[in-house]
Amino acid sequence: MIVKLGARTTGEDAVDLLAACHERIRKFSAMACAIAKAQGDVREAAGAVRRYFAEAFPLHVADEEELIEPRLALPAQVHADHAAHAAEIERLVALCAGIEAGGPVPPELGPLAERLRKELDAHLELEERDVFPALRMLPDAVRAEIRDGIRARRR
């Protein structure tokens, strides 16, 4: 028997889905920081961080740029942050791939992960403060389109 944990409810709104993404971003950025400080085998954790930032995080950015932006002008800082984070995310993914493959934890991981965590936290707070309330003001049908687009992107 297959049991799905955290199954979707029919009442989920686009903002609920985005907020859940934000929690995962916080979780995996904190995990990257923990890997840098950990002793012992961190290959599995590094693989989880690599997969999240290589596969899921780009979907979240695309949700904002392609599903939200056409319906609601995002603050310029949101776009600037997306561009600024790209190289750091790419570097984090590469470092975690090396660890996942059995390599040592590089000394640069700690400062990179801490800097990225702080930058992502500030970015998420901006969106939660400025974008989420504006999304909630959109008509139900528009929010449903965004929600359905987010779900479709993850299938």
pLDDT digits (tens, 9 = 90+) for 123-154: 999 999 999 999 999 999 999 999 999 999 98
Contact 67, 150 (CB under 8 A): yes
Contact 109, 35 (CB under 8 A): yes
pTM of the model: 0.90
**The residue type at 108:** E
* DSSP sequence for 91-154: HHHHHHHHHHTT----TTHHHHHHHHHHHHHHHHHHIIIIIHHHHHHS-HHHHHHHHHHHHHHT
Q: Where does the pLDDT of residue 8 fall: very low under 50, low under 70, confident under 90, or very high at 90 and above?
A: very low
Buried b vs exposed e over 126-142: b needs ≥16 C-beta within 10 Å?
Answer: ebeeebeebbeebeeee
pLDDT digits (tens, 9 = 90+) for 62-83: 999 999 999 999 999 999 999 9
pLDDT digits (tens, 9 = 90+) for 45-62: 999 999 999 999 999 999
Q: 22-30 contacts: CB < 8 A, separation 24 or more?
A: 22/124, 22/127, 22/128, 24/52, 24/56, 25/57, 25/60, 25/120, 25/124, 26/120, 26/121, 26/124, 28/52, 28/53, 28/57, 29/113, 29/116, 29/117, 29/120, 29/121, 30/117
Name the CA radius of gyration of the chain, rounded: 17
* Average pLDDT along the chain: 92
